[in-house]
Amino acid sequence: MAMANTNREPAPRQKTYLLRLWETRSVPPDDPATWRFSLEDVQNSTRRGFATLEELVSFLNQETRTTMDHT
């Protein structure tokens, strides 16, 4: 028989996102390609776009900091 958790700690928080990334190319084709990113919150369908990988990582860092501050 399994024992119940008596610590009464809150369940770990989680967020689920759908990550999309795609390449955009400038004209002429000799110009370097640029990657774009978006995250969609699967619970409420909110979509957020990012022009750079650094912006995406910064957003995720902020989300985890906010989540950790509320525990």
So where are the chain's domains? 17-69
Higher pLDDT, 44 or 7: 44
| Residue 36 structure tokens | 């774009």
Is the distance from CB of 59 to CB of 37 less than 8 angstroms? no
pLDDT tens, residue by residue, 3-40: 665 667 887 788 999 999 999 987 776 778 899 999 99
Token pair of 22 as six digits: 């795609």
Structural contact between residues 40 and 60, judged by C-beta atoms closer than 8 angstroms: no
pLDDT value for 41 = 96
Per-residue model confidence (pLDDT) at position 67: 52
- Predicted TM-score (pTM) of the model is 0.70
